[in-house]
Amino acid sequence: MPVQASRRPSSLEPAGPSARMSPQRSSGGRRSGGAAKKRTRRKDPLWARLTLIFGAVLMLTSGIAIVGSKAIISQATAGIAQGNLLGDAGKSGAEGGKNLDGPIDMLLLGVDARERWAADDVRADSIIVLHIPASHDQAYMISIPRDTQADIPGHGPNKINAAFQYGAQNGGGWEGGAQLMAKTIKRMTGVSFDGAAIINFGGFKKIIDTLGSVRICVSQQVTSHHMSYVDGKPMWNAEAKKTGRTMTPVVHKKGCREMKGWAALDYSRQRYGLDGGDYDRQQNQQQLIKAMAKKATENGTLTNPVKLNALMKAAGKALVLDVGGVPIADFIFTMRGVTGNDLTMLRTNGGRFNPTADGKEALSPLSLQMFQAVRNDKLAEFVYANPSVLSTRK
């Protein structure tokens, strides 16, 4: 594994309601959701568990022959919504600020959002820190378990996924939620960010369908807890039950295969029935991001203006992005040396639940050292010395 030098501190669409991507912007400059009915109870989230956020943007940075110029990239990415997702968790001037010459750290969030739910009552259950060293030729993904105990500024100890919900309340909207999440992670790990992204599940499926399919390797056979076949068509279980017809569970069998968007996303959501539970799911979600990045570079999407514009149209419906005040084209062009094959997937806590004395979940000392390596842009050296942090997925 290369040692990096540090420059600065560091179409089968299942039936069911579609998720709302971005709430309306309030007069105060943040996004708020407007009127929406509060849900009466929380069930296992449909959209939240997908650490798939940065796949669409990262694909654009891969192997940039990307049709060529920053002007074309700017035109292609014009439809991607931007917002202030970092607040004061962005990198300071002393840490590099808007200078993209050094290492780049992104916060990637997947939110639990459905139209019938209030915009201020959502949690970010999918959390990834993506680190690109100063050499800009490698990328590392680290998933933070959603149940990790954290000191949430202004709210005290709680599961880290509650930070988004707290920040979204009282008019904060999704921007406020992302800002408080970023601040919480910075307090816990010391990592400041160059940018952030939030993704919507329904829109992300369209990105995969634009690519056609992705190659996924199923490590353990698992029966879906969310989807079934009705007359050979996949449907969300809640919708399938309404048909009154025979429901056949969707089973993801062990082995490698090309998957359509609905199947790849459904597999990446599974937690129950996996030996490592949520930790196995994190690795499966990281595998999907890598598969998307590889597919985009293999099928000519990034060098074909028509395919690129189609991909960006889908991404524009799926993403809210913050690139720290720099033009998106500059941000993408800076990372043009990163390809799907250069994505290294890392895991916290050795891929197993790490309990505190009172039975709650916490980051292990080794995991905290890994984030220190992120801050110091010494992650390659850390991984070389601690190979147990590598994901078992390819």
**Alpha-carbon distances, residue 90 vs 81, 126, 246, 311, 372 (angstroms):** 19, 20, 51, 28, 17
Q: Is the CB of residue 98 less than 8 Å from the CB of residue 326?
A: yes
How many domains does the chain divide into?
A: 1
Q: Pairing between strand 124-132 and 104-111? A: antiparallel
Q: Give domain status of residue 9, yes or no.
A: no
Exposed e or buried b per residue across 262-288, where buried means at least 16 C-beta atoms within 10 angstroms of its C-beta: bbbbbbbbbbeebebbbbbbbbbbbbb
Q: Give domain status of residue 183, yes or no.
A: yes
- List the CATH number of the domain containing 136: 3.30.420.590
Q: Give domain status of residue 57, yes or no.
A: yes
Helix axes 173-189, 365-375, angle to 10 degrees: 110
Q: Give domain status of residue 116, yes or no.
A: yes
Residue of 14, 24, 373, 53 lying closest to 190 (CA atoms): 373
* Alpha carbon distance 109, 119 (integer Å): 15
Q: Give domain status of residue 146, yes or no.
A: yes
Q: Give domain status of residue 294, yes or no.
A: no
**Alpha-carbon distances, residue 270 vs 52, 104, 219, 287, 388 (angstroms):** 14, 30, 12, 13, 23
Q: Give domain status of residue 163, yes or no.
A: yes
pLDDT for residue 341: 62
Whether pTM > 0.85 for this model: the answer is no
Q: Domain of 129?
A: 46-210+301-389
111-153 tens-digit pLDDT = 655 444 455 666 776 788 989 999 888 889 898 988 899 999 9
Q: Is the CB of residue 132 less than 8 Å from the CB of residue 139?
A: yes
Per-position pLDDT tens, the chain of length 394: 443 333 333 333 443 333 333 333 333 333 333 434 443 333 322 222 222 334 444 444 443 344 445 665 666 566 677 789 999 999 888 887 777 888 999 998 876 554 444 556 667 767 889 899 998 888 898 989 888 999 999 999 999 989 998 998 988 988 999 999 999 999 999 999 999 988 765 556 778 888 899 999 999 999 999 899 999 999 989 899 999 999 999 999 999 999 999 999 889 888 888 888 877 877 887 788 778 877 877 766 766 777 777 777 776 666 778 888 887 777 777 776 676 566 788 989 888 888 888 888 899 999 999 999 999 999 999 999 999 999 876 6
Q: Give domain status of residue 345, yes or no.
A: yes
